[in-house]
Structure 1
């Protein structure tokens, strides 16, 4: 009986990703990235269907030791293994599905220019999971604010982050603590533009007073997310915009608060209908593979890209601020 040929397989949770100058292997189980030369990426692709001996002869007929060094590197990094039964090790499912109509919402409000309860009810109907509130409360009474958060506590949101403009009563009368305790879904309250920076003694890292503005806190910082959920979402969608809606202080519906374009007012339009339109969802599909300047980076499926995008007449996406992109597109972690 003829002996079966030997194959090489990456572990299913290790996914090779090509880049312009170098490639990478995403270890989605350990949350790590291993950079590799582009030639090794191509070898890995060819090894999916062919035995080791065939690919060794194809790439290094006169230097078999060089080919073996590549394979040994992958094995020592615990990225793959040799086997005579490659069919027994199927590749991981990289499809992406989430049940929620809206995953993330960012809401600005001073509780005067539009009905916040209307927006909250819309988002609840859409099964929104994560809510970020940016609140100006200069004219808001404590009882009204607490009542608002008590109502939210019974909605579908899984987590809430609250940014509130500094007001003396927040500190002196423990408003922030009362708000935090009124709604179990609040993960964190950040009091912005405070005269001094400090953390709550009672809820350290949950209630934070900062001297910074919301604009300063929103400045782009490199962040890498290496896991199966983020990877599969980035394969098919734009993780920053996908299933996201923003409402600005005037009640205008936007894909992102920084956008000049809006989709009308929440009080004059059915939010569910707007979000369901293909025009609104178009940017959701601006995956890293479809954005100039990002599509050639081996880190395109793990780096957080909160960039404003524009589309030209040829339906090609690009980043509005190319200077930010240049900084973000350095192929290194940390």
Structure 2
């Protein structure tokens, strides 16, 4: 068999990782049609179909999956070789792709990314907001951000952002004047609660803690949403009581537009972590970002 074009092989791996031609093409700076043509040429050279193509998805065939499993270590070594060239000049180049939850994108990264980009002008950062627990490697990301209970054990984790966070409960002065202020989490059963539903469909159950006691309250009320902005806006308008990340509510609390509720019961938890695959060679943009986070945490 004639040796296949290695650039076609790399594009095949990129398409599988991205889950489609359009995303893979965007990441490589190519057109979707040229990527598709390259994969067809590779299939013709090998005499085997590597991808199942439908109008909605692109997935590897059984033969394609086997081939990619064998090729992945070699492709990683090729990437590592080019990263070593970057390291030799001490100037990391390339794109850092991150998958992060919405609170991290809104409240943590704006304090980090500008300084990181200023230090490393050869690096660009691509951030996707996703609250779901995805396979970052399969999805083509260099790293993700999650909380400790959601981290896979085969991942390396580095602290990012505040090390302690809280969920806080609050309501508008008008709501509390009309409906009263709960004195205990059990009192919430008689109140209008603004709930959050994750993209997975799971309902966010409220947890309150004090003196070793934990009380869980499934929020029931007039609004259930997957949008934090909508939930905060509803709380400001007096729709009901909200319980969410302190960062979402702190400005309104400081202005007196929302008042704290059940403050002695607010749940505190450990802050988020940047996590990435445990592999021998890291892309130079990721290595630079990890070093940057460690340096930032030490200052």
Q: TM-score, normalised by structure 2?
A: 0.22
- Relative contact order higher in (CA < 8 Å, ≥ 6 apart): 2
Q: TM-score, normalised by structure 1?
A: 0.20
